[in-house]
């Protein structure tokens, strides 16, 4: 899912983001603050969004003109309006101008909001049908690669993901399709995208997703990978994991990172949503490389526009400095802390404030029951990369050390 929150009130954007992240932990959520970024222009892309959450009033929009302008554009997704001082007359006007639903800000509850969002998402895609662009991409690849497309799993700014079944068999595959987009340096992104995934495709490791095919079809680069039926770690983190379970998952992730680091690839976007499980409950790491790196760059640039979340970024990555494998180790430390506690190690009211905390806040402390794990976590989350584990091999050795191995047992 991809959501856009438009509101001048940073605290209220944070509240809405919280509700969405609890229900859709893998969603991409974009914030827009008109008072700092300026009015939303006609050039702002709406077609890739699944839902817009629009605050009222806005500093640069005194009435519902923004709602009316957005809903007049082809491909605009459903819009929910949240009014600070609303009444029934404003609600009627909002619905007349195209709002899918309306809430006074003071009366939003998690259950009511989630119900409204689900209803609008369902109504926007009747019978589970794919969008026109999804159908055209799916049919093009289907004709070339002998796969029948089942569903669109995700559509983002840079890529879309589809579930497919091989014709004549019951084997399912996931196709990731990269949209045609040159990078900022002017070179062709497809070449870099395919080169990096070609390296991944040659990795035969139980904790790295299997890549079956990759190439270019109808001006789209694509990769075909295994279907991971066990879901993501993000979904499992709706509950606190047991100590042995958390350490086992962290060790498997470390092994996967070691495999990609050995061939010169950094993950750069390690987070629970990119840790998947097979049907036998083994970990499989997904989503490496260039497309994700471009999104991460977008996450810390621009005024008033932020994609994704910086909860798992190393201090050097958050400040756009050079990164190496020690940055991935830091990200894994953030995930380990969350698996053990159910909380992210650093939280704040804005993404840039989270980035600041990664560098300047005291390191998180585990409860007494996890005393034996604290030194390992401290070393993974060291601010200075030179004070962290210097390689995933060193980290795996630490997981295999007697005290940690006993905690995993």
pLDDT digits (tens, 9 = 90+) for 232-281: 999 899 888 999 999 999 999 999 999 999 988 888 889 998 999 998 99
pLDDT at residue number 200: 81
Parallel, antiparallel or unpaired: strands 283-285 and 305-306: unpaired
Above 50 in pLDDT, residue 307?
A: no
Predicted local distance difference test score (pLDDT) of residue 196? 63
Tell me how far apart the alpha carbons of residues 22 and 1 are, in angstroms, rounded to a whole number. Answer: 13
Residue 193: its pLDDT value, please? 65
| DSSP label at residue 126 | G
Query: Which regions of 236-378 does DSSP assign to beta strands (E)?
Result: 275-277, 283-285, 305-306
Among 50, 269, 287, 328, the one annotated catalytic? 269
Q: Model confidence over 360-377: pLDDT tens digits?
A: 999 999 999 999 999 999
Please report, for residues 40, 82, 102, 110, the alpha-carbon distance to residue 85 in angstroms, rounded to integers and kept in the order given: 22, 9, 12, 20
- Residue range 68-90: average pLDDT? 85
Entry pTM: 0.63
Output the pLDDT for position 219: 63
- Structure confidence at residue 287 (pLDDT): 79
pLDDT band at 213 (very low <50, low <70, confident <90, very high): confident
Task: Confirm whether 269 is a catalytic residue.
Answer: yes
| Three-state secondary structure call for residue 234 | helix
Cα separation values, 326 from 17, 167, 388, 395, Å: 30, 42, 7, 10
Please say whether the beta carbons of 372 and 364 come within 8 A: no
Indicate whether 290 pLDDT > 60.
Answer: no
Domains along the sequence of the chain with CATH: 2-125 (3.40.50.2300), 132-226 (3.30.200.20), 233-408 (1.10.510.10)
Q: For 114, which DSSP code?
A: H
């Amino acid at each position: 899912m991809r959501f856009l929150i438009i509101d001048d009130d940073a605290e209220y954007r944070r509240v809405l983001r919280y509700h969405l992240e609890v229900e859709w932990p893998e969603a991409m959520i974009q914030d827009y603050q008109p008072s700092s970024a300026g009015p939303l222009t006609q050039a702002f892309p709406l077609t890739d969004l699944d839902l817009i959450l629009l605050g009222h009033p806005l500093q640069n929009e005194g009435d519902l003109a923004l709602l009316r302008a957005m809903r007049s554009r082809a491909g605009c997704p459903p819009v929910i309006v949240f009014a600070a001082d609303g009444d029934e007359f404003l609600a009627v006007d909002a619905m007349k101008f195209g709002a899918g639903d309306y809430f006074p800000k003071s009366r939003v509850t998690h259950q009511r909001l989630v119900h409204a969002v689900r209803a609008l998402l369902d109504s926007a895609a009747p019978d589970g049908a794919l969008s026109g662009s999804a159908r055209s991409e799916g049919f093009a690849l289907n004709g070339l690669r002998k796969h029948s497309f089942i569903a669109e799993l995700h559509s983002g700014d840079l890529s879309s993901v589809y579930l497919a079944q091989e014709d004549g068999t019951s084997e399912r595959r996931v196709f990731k399709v990269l949209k045609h987009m040159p990078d900022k340096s002017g070179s062709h992104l497809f070449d870099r995208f395919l080169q990096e995934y070609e390296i991944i495709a040659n990795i035969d490791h139980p904790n790295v997703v299997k890549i079956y095919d990759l190439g270019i079809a109808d001006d789209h680069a694509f990769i075909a990978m295994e279907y991971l039926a066990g879901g993501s770690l993000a979904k499992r983190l709706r509950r606190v994991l047991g100590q042995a379970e958390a350490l086992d998952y962290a060790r498997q992730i470390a092994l996967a990172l070691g495999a990609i680091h050995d061939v010169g690839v950094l993950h750069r976007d390690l987070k629970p949503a990119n840790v998947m499980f097979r049907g036998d409950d083994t970990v499989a790491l997904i989503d490496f490389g260039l497309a994700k790196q471009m999104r991460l760059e977008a996450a810390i640039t621009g005024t008033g526009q932020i994609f994704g979340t910086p909860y798992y970024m190393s201090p050097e990555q958050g400040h756009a400095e050079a990164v190496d494998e020690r940055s991935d180790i830091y990200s894994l430390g953030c995930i380990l802390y969350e698996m053990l506690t159910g909380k992210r190690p650093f939280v704040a009211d804005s993404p840039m404030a989270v980035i600041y905390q990664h560098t300047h806040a005291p390191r998180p402390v585990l409860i007494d029951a996890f005393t034996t794990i604290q030194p390992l976590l401290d070393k993974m989350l060291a601010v200075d990369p030179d004070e962290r584990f210097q390689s995933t091999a060193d980290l795996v050795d630490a997981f295999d050390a007697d005290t940690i191995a006993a905690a995993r047992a």
